[in-house]
Structure 1
Amino acid sequence: MAMTHRGAVATMLLVTLLWSIAGVVTRHLDSAASFELTFWRSAANAAALALLLGWQQGATPLWRAIRHGGRTMWFSGLCWTVMFTSFMVALTLTTVANVLITMSLAPLFTAVIARAVLGQRLPGRTWAAIVVAGAGVAWMYGEQIGGGSRRDLIGTLVALSVPLAAATMWTLLQHNTRGRPEQRVDMTPAVLIGAALSALLTLPLAWPFQASASDVGWLTLLGVVQLAIPCVLAVAAGRVLRAPEAALLGLLEIVFGVAWTWLGTQESPTPAVLGGGALVLGALVANEAMALRRTPAVPA
């Protein structure tokens, strides 16, 4: 999938918009518990990816790609497993605010890992955008942070695995694109690996099932629209964007999530949410505007 830098930025905007619908959709669930929610969502994600990638590549080539993908693909698949699973587990242990604050560390972790592993040097504008966007997210949810109980601490530590896994995944994508053409592998099946492993891991914890037919329908929608499609697009965009830049754009998921909740439920955003969201958007727009002015629109 040939893509310019501008196309990759636009793709990530669509990706974060789709990722962000999880919160407002789960508000309409009747009886699905957290692990059951994760199982049905991951299972639908895996089924949709198997059909999509099997149709694109053929069942035999897809299976061959998974078998011979090598360590890079399987490590990436494990990263997707952690992201698909740990987010929901953390929500059962601590507040949404604690989880989102922890997830906002993804751009910083990505910048550090990419610098250490790939030797990527980031311009000052990107470091500034990371700091400002992180401050914006902290402002949005700082008032909601819990009292620091032992359960909150465990939940925050679980949530910490999400930005670490995301940072590792983006760095692996960049590492793969830097290899020799004959050494590069299609990293898209890694998303399928992650979804399948997430479903298998949460199945014992989700049993016995309590979800209604309506719940299963909503969770299937999430698995296809909120995970399968945007994750495939994210892999495509990650071949073009620098790893920290992709992670920074991913913070828009939090801002969009607030907007969806505002429009789809009775919840109204507080002044802190509006002000913090404005900081995040401003940092992203400024960083990408400067990047687009300096980056030629050459297909990658």
Structure 2
Amino acid sequence: MRLTHTRAVFLMVAVTMMWSIAGVITRHLENARSFEITFWRSFFTVVSLLVILPLFQGREVFGKIRRGGRALWVSGVCWSVMFTAFMVALTLTSVANVLVTMAIGPFLTALVARIFIGHRIPARTWTAIVVAGLGIAYMYGAQIEGGQLAGTLVALLVPMAGAVNWTVTQRSHAQGEDVDLVPAVMVGAVISSLATLPLALPFQATAHDIGWLAVLGLVQLAIPCSLAVMCARVLKAPEISLLALLEVIFGILLAWIGANEAPGHTVLLGGALVIGALVANEIAGWRGAAAP
């Protein structure tokens, strides 16, 4: 499937819309809770990718997994942490809290890459990190009194694992070993399923719940993750980062409209600082790269 730049942009917007449905669907589950939600979503992601991956890459994709080496398995563990922490966090706090916390991922990635592989951080990014940090600190300070801090701390594991994942794949690439991220997603889903299965028992999900969780596994995770990798081959990193922020906006709006979960003023203000810092940093980097 060959993508033009315009098609890749529209496809990435569709990807963020698919990513954003997790919160509102979680709010409409009947009996499934916490780790059972994670198990079923990861399980249906594995089933979906077993069909999707051979269509995208042929049967040799399973050989890539067997020969993937340490970097692919580390990436898979990172994906499993992201899958598990994201769904558990949604059961502990608001959709808006989770999505805004996840939005600091690019900044955490910059810091981890600076510490472990020596990537230089421009002054504009340091400024953006400070502004975004103030936004997150404001949100966290308000949640200590509101009793939702635990959920937001669990959500923080998502961008932390994402930062480690990106750093490992970049280091492997620099050493001549490319990590195929889509098979790594499946490895992560397998690990997440196996790790959460004992914690999910005894199952309480109704047929209604399992149907919605199958939608999450296929439509919210397997399909968009595969499409996002395709978009990344056409779009520049700043474009991907900016378009990915649409997940925050779409997710909050869907939870507000579809589940009557209005974001609090602390989330709106803190989130505005985080997203504003992200947008300003990416635009400045984009212009700086285009100037020469």
**Correspondence 1:1-300 to 2 at 5 A:** 14-59=14-59, 61-90=60-89, 95-96=93-94, 103=102, 106-139=105-138, 142-146=141-145, 158-180=154-176, 183-235=177-229, 253-296=247-290
Offset of residue 109 of structure 1: 2.8
1:261 & 1:125 partners in 2: Cα distance?
33
2:125 & 2:4 partners in 1: Cα distance?
19
The letter of the residue matching 1:220 is: A
Instruction: Give the 3 Å change call, closer, same or farther, for CA 282–137 of structure 1 in structure 2.
Output: same
Instruction: Give the 3 Å change call, closer, same or farther, for CA 156–278 of structure 1 in structure 2.
Output: closer
2:260 & 2:75 partners in 1: Cα distance?
38
Contact 2:245/2:275 (<8 A) preserved: no
Offset of residue 274 of structure 1: 3.3
Offset of residue 271 of structure 1: 3.5
The letter of the residue matching 2:70 is: R
Contact 2:104/2:132 (<8 A) preserved: no
Number of equivalenced pairs = 289
Gaps of 5+ in 2: none
1:7 & 1:281 partners in 2: Cα distance?
25
1:179 & 1:169 partners in 2: Cα distance?
16
Offset of residue 64 of structure 1: 0.5
How high is the sequence identity, in percent, across the aligned residues?
Answer: 56
Contact 2:78/2:165 (<8 A) preserved: yes
Offset of residue 185 of structure 1: 4.0
1:4 & 1:118 partners in 2: Cα distance?
33
Q: TM-score, normalised by structure 2?
A: 0.80
* Per-residue CA distance 1:227-280 (angstroms, 9 max, x = gap): 1123234445667766x9977875654443222212212233333333334333
Instruction: Give the 3 Å change call, closer, same or farther, for CA 3–169 of structure 1 in structure 2.
Output: farther
2:219 & 2:56 partners in 1: Cα distance?
18
Report the RMSD for the aligned CA atoms in angstroms: 3.6
Secondary structure, counterpart of 1:30 in structure 2: coil
Question: Which shifted more, 109-118 or 189-198?
Answer: 109-118
1:233 & 1:30 partners in 2: Cα distance?
30
Offset of residue 86 of structure 1: 2.7
Question: Which shifted more, 196-205 or 5-14?
Answer: 5-14
Gaps of 5+ in 1: none
* Per-residue CA distance 1:141-182 (angstroms, 9 max, x = gap): 653334679xx66x67655533321111111232243343xx
* Per-residue CA distance 1:18-47 (angstroms, 9 max, x = gap): 323211111111111212111110011111
Contact 1:252/1:281 (<8 A) preserved: no
Contact 2:100/2:274 (<8 A) preserved: no
Contact 1:104/1:137 (<8 A) preserved: no
Question: Which shifted more, 249-258 or 37-46?
Answer: 249-258
The letter of the residue matching 2:287 is: R
Contact 2:101/2:136 (<8 A) preserved: no
Instruction: Give the 3 Å change call, closer, same or farther, for CA 228–173 of structure 1 in structure 2.
Output: same
